[in-house]
Amino acid sequence: MPMPDWLRIRREEELASGDEKLWDKCPSCGEMLYRKDLEANLWVCTRCGHHFRMHAYDRINSLVDGDFVEIGTEILPGDPLGWVDKRPYPQKLETDREKSKLSEAVVTGFGTLDGFPIALGVMDFSFRGGTMGTVVGDRIAHLLEEARRRHLPTIVFTASGGARMEEGMLALMQMAKTTQAVDRFMQDGNLYVTVLTDPTTGGVSASFAFQSDIVIAEARAAIGFAGRRVIEQTIRQKLPENFQTAEFLLEKGHVDMVVPRPAIRETLIRLLDYAVDRKRIAPALKAVPEFAL
């Protein structure tokens, strides 16, 4: 599959910054992995199966058929509280923009998945720990509103440390905003699927992550409400190794399935095929590939 233009442009930006690495060490088994092999294997260790955290654009590229039309890029962060600790909040944002090549912690847009037109949101932990501030909330709500108008099935990949402290209560209110947008979308009979990736916690976990028709957990992901450290401090004892893992949640009945990353695309296609009547989304299909707003 040729590299789509949107991704090629991203890649060139990345190359220009000169941070392209050749080798990565697996934090789980210690194996040195050739970057190209790791990329080809969707950032899953070829030796032990450890799932590296994946860049939002790599994730999108691994899913959509060809083009991806990004929306919500005009929704950008401000500094509503005038937050300063070690550094002012706008400086932290700037650092994360450079480091992650992202304008915020979620990328939203439209594409097709095996011919199914879908709305897709992908969070990225490398931007402020995937925390939800006003921009994440607004982009998610915007995505669901646009998807609702088009009757598009919506898939959201979550990765989040919770609410963004530097935006205070405005961040917390995004839980209300996203929950409402999801519910409105679902009440209209549209399919909403979430894929919980490592880590999914706090305000994201307790709003749009667990509201979906089908909750998929990526293999080995840490998922929960309270962070592991908070719980350990509260109960003053060490937690079992598998606590709050995807596999633990499956056993407890919180998620529909646990899927290793290389099988996620196929799984989503199968789910769309069961749940979505292609005739119903025919009007949206006609709009492909431009997804005119």
Report the residue from 117, 130, 137, 199 that binds another protein according to the rule CB under 8 A. Answer: 137
Tell me whether residue 222 or residue 284 sits nearer to another protein (CB atom). 222
For residue 40, what are its two tokens? 């080809």
For residue 191, the minimal CB distance to another protein (Å) is 16
CB 211 within 8 A of CB 172: no
For residue 208, the minimal CB distance to another protein (Å) is 8
For residue 202, the minimal CB distance to another protein (Å) is 7
- Which residues, listed in sequence order, are joined to residue 108 by a DSSP beta bridge? 71, 121
**Backbone phi, then psi, for 70, in 5-degree steps?**
-80, 135
Show Cβ contacts of residue 36 under 8 Å, excluding neighbours closer than 6 positions.
none
Report the residue from 179, 250, 260, 262 that binds another protein according to the rule CB under 8 A. Answer: 179
For residue 238, the minimal CB distance to another protein (Å) is 11
DSSP string, 191-245: -EEEEEEEEE-HHHIIIIISSSSEEEEETT-BB-SS-HHHHHHHHTSPPPTTTTB
- Residue whose C-alpha is closest to residue 77's, from 116, 135, 138, 3: 135
Interface with another protein, residue 1, by CB under 8 A: no
Report the residue from 1, 2, 36, 229 that binds another protein according to the rule CB under 8 A. Answer: 229
Tell me whether residue 226 or residue 285 sits nearer to another protein (CB atom). 226
Question: Using CA atoms, how far apart are residues 38 and 46, in angstroms rounded to an integer?
Answer: 7
Interface with another protein, residue 121, by CB under 8 A: no
Size of the site for another protein (CB under 8 A): 65
Which residues bind to another protein, rule: CB under 8 A? Answer: 74-81, 83-85, 133-135, 137-138, 141, 161-165, 167-177, 179-184, 187, 202-203, 205-211, 224-227, 229-231, 233-235, 239, 243-244, 252-254
